[in-house]
Structure 1
């Protein structure tokens, strides 16, 4: 699979480096994740289900992925592009539960390597493939994929108009874009650092109104749009209550993403509560 040109210069190249440096800060993750999964699986070979609490790097984790898939209803045999795939959690979930073929693209090389290693460990190398690529310059032919799936990725893309034009280009006629994204709230910038950016230089949020306008300009027809900010807030409050009550915390990314992850998670909750970010799920179609 062709990969994006990584020799970019100027402002765009600096943005790529800012974003990838943030995500690569903890180094290779696959072995740590597999060690944790082995431990919680009593030493047996981990499955996609065992990895799910650890490899879903978005708010509400697997719970949100299940809810998102119920809205999108991927069809068996479809070719799905997971854009901003991270370490491949949703891609593996889709391949296993929806019987689709998944291509996962991400800017961060270490994430792509981890995604491939984790997929090999659960026997999915033939059905889920990963490569480094820029979401605004996809190495795919026109009209080549049935479904573009993206969860918590557009926050790191400065040129969202180019992003959605590329999505429209690679989608087949009648193909769909499924997005689950964090967007700008009315009360100013998020509290930094947050899980997707260490500083404002790596974060590029637009309001839901602005995103919807860009999607329409790209020629994508809106089928469903849901504001899930209240669900995300409830999830934050449940987690906080469990911590305050001393409830044992289930396995999750906090076990391997380093000491800074606690502050990022706290700022995510504060940003939601203060109206600085919102969370949305949507389904659009290329007519």
Structure 2
């Protein structure tokens, strides 16, 4: 066997250091890498959306911004692409090309409407009964998306002047009652949801007389629609129903898949259709 020269020993030592260094780098980077891959692999949502008016090469261009409280307050905007030109066609997302939300920073006001296209401008109107700081969100899925279940969400703040009756965001609670008398109770565990981990949120829906809802009428092509908003950041999180539209519900339970990207509290707004009417339930959940 050939005896190792000084040069051989030097190269061997360098190789050991490189491997060891790579091992250290790999060890240190693996959690973040796996964390990112797990988040990216989860279909429902793993992003804080709507924190900016620019995302994914798209930009929200204001045309008409609410400037006073009232009913049917007009809103108009354009969605500009990377070339600066208006984009007027998106993939259908729960039967609509574009969803539009307005929330007040205390979560007391929530609106979900669907603008219509007028030339290159999207137009709608919303009821804004009180002043305060608001954020509006435009949600859409680009035609060339590689992730059709994760839409682009652009968020823009605005405020309405005048006296405002602010209300504290309700603390996390498993039970809520809609304005129409339906009771919605969260029956999944744990009560505090883990950060960046896919979970199923199970909601038991009861009619005003306490009877479990055995079947919901399709709303936006599904059993329901639910979006969450971080109570401090005002970012949006999407949730997707598990049960197919029109399928019977076991003990009135409706399931949504969710992933939350930030710690803190989220206000969830569930919309569902039953008895020929649309009902909205709001729940606060904690994420840690």
Structure 1 or 2: larger helix share?
Answer: 1
**What TM-score comes out, normalization by structure 1 length?**
0.27
Q: Flag the structure with larger Rg.
A: 2
**What TM-score comes out, normalization by structure 2 length?**
0.27
